[in-house]
Structure 1
Amino acid sequence: MLDGHPELAFRYEFELAVDLVPPGEGWPDLDVYYEYLRTYRFVDPPPHIDRSLDYPSLVRSFLEQKRRADRKPRVGAVVHRNFDRLLRIWPDARFVHIVRDPRDVARSCVGMGWAGHAWSGVAPWIEAEQLWERVRASLPRQRWITVRYEDLVHDPKRELGRICRLVEIDFDDAMLEYPSRSTYRAPSPSFTEQWRKKLTPRDVQLVESRVHDMLAPRGYALSGLPRIEPSPLERAALRARCRAGRARHAARSLGVRLWVERAVAHRGGPRAWREHVQRRVDAAINAQLA
């Protein structure tokens, strides 16, 4: 949606800007970072790497390349984690905090193979929300907004208008034309509260056991099911189910042969072969996300 605006370029999955940045102070070793980029799973075309630049200047150049390529005056990026570190690179950054019902997030994480069970699938949501609370406390009010996913799909023009006002541009209908240039469908209220049909009552209880006190402040109601608290033994069993579920999903999505090759490559082998395997894995994942 944002990338479709004629005045706004937007990069997808820009965690490469922050994942190696240490907490506190300092920057990644550039040789280590160059090596990291060699096998990074790019969704956008890989940027040019100017080795004459220091770390923050290099990362800024990646967004500038996107802005220039699209010939637009403004640029932004999607960052799911470690986004507090963006402020060390862009001290004046503005933030659109998008939040979704954690029960749907947990279900989606399982469907994507990022978690093997809803109980573990909600962990990234918890981490992101807790981090956002800390980041928000340090920002002037005029530099951030919160957008609920459910509000966005119910009234996209209104919510996109709010985002446009944050970055001082006017809403443009082109923001809603992305189904014509991508595999994504137009926003629909049917995308919300899928957990009611696709999670078992037990799974809902397990997710709510982790986010019980975080729902109401974000505008979400509890299911009304009895509250439970998994025992230490149950938690250990859930973690084991998660590992097994992720392995099954990877074997199905990559194919058994590539899945085995990836597991072996993680343990060593010639560098060229390991990179070849990683590129094949990345291509398979990107094909599923397209």
Structure 2
Amino acid sequence: ERQDPQAIEEARRWLKAHASWSTQRLFAYLAEKVAPRVTIEKSPSTVMKMAFLKRLQRDFPEARILHLTRHPRATCRSIHAIVKKTDEIRGFKRNIDPEHLWRQAHGHIMAFLRDWPSDRWMRIRGEDLLAEPDRYLPQIAQWLGLRMDEGAIEAMKHPEHSPYASLGPYNAPFGNDPGFLHHPYYTKRLPSRETMAGPMEWGAPRFSRETLSLARSLGYG
């Protein structure tokens, strides 16, 4: 859990020495090292291709999947802002459709979960979780077999206490959402008032029928 330049260099040397390992072997090794704590994999790229999800099913058939959703307008606005800022830094413009990314990710997850045991996946709207953590965090903890006492739930509302909740050393400053790294605090939020109607901040005139249908199935009217 050290986050200093020396620890980063040690990690890089270890990775170089084990470069022949598959992703599955590396992840299984890390899971064994941190046991009995639960290992979490939250890379957005995992859900961008069905082939990636099939590998997850093959390599970790006992995994539990928490499908955390977010309103498509809010998600697309964030993607657009990140892409725009990155393009400005790099000096060129990419043609990335935020709506397509949102629809692709959640479409893949929903298709994949049709064949996943129902007791090993849970879906929750991120907006609901952030608005009522004391209601939803115990449910998630119980499902995962974790502590759900008052102290445990309170600790979950303080991500800033994590050694990874800040910018890293000069040789590895990132590794997480920059917005979170700059402000890693939970703030209770009111239920989302986002709408599916109207023009998009990223230039599209409206959401497609496919996106509207998928959004409704996830509870976003």
Change (3 A) 1:47 1:167: farther
| 1:70-81 aligned within 5 A | 72-81=36-45
| 1:123-272 aligned within 5 A | 123-171=100-148, 172=152, 173-181=154-162, 182=165, 183-190=183-190, 192-193=192-193, 201-203=198-200, 206-209=205-208, 210-221=210-221
Deviations 1:57-99 (A, max 9, x none): 233224444x26xxx5322221323341211211111100000
Between the aligned residues of both structures, percent identity stands at: 19
Q: In the alignment, is the contact (CA less than 8 A) between 2:128 and 2:191 conserved in 1? A: no
Q: How big is the shift at 1:150?
A: 0.8
Change (3 A) 1:113 1:53: closer
Aligned CA-pair RMSD: 3.4
Higher helix share: 1
Q: Number of aligned pairs?
A: 172
Note the residue ranges of structure 1 that are not aligned, 5 or more in a row: 1-8, 10-41, 222-290
Residue 56 in structure 1 maps to residue 50 in structure 2 = no
TM-score of the two chains, using structure 1 as the length reference: 0.50
Once residues 123 and 67 of structure 2 are traced to their aligned partners in structure 1, the CA distance between those partners, rounded to angstroms, is 5
The residue number in structure 2 matching 1:92 is 62
Once residues 212 and 47 of structure 1 are traced to their aligned partners in structure 2, the CA distance between those partners, rounded to angstroms, is 47
Q: In the alignment, is the contact (CA less than 8 A) between 1:156 and 1:187 conserved in 2? A: no
Change (3 A) 1:151 1:136: same
Q: How big is the shift at 1:201?
A: 3.3
Change (3 A) 1:151 1:46: farther
Deviates more, 1:162-171 or 1:98-107: 162-171
Once residues 161 and 149 of structure 1 are traced to their aligned partners in structure 2, the CA distance between those partners, rounded to angstroms, is 15
Q: In the alignment, is the contact (CA less than 8 A) between 1:63 and 1:75 conserved in 2? A: yes
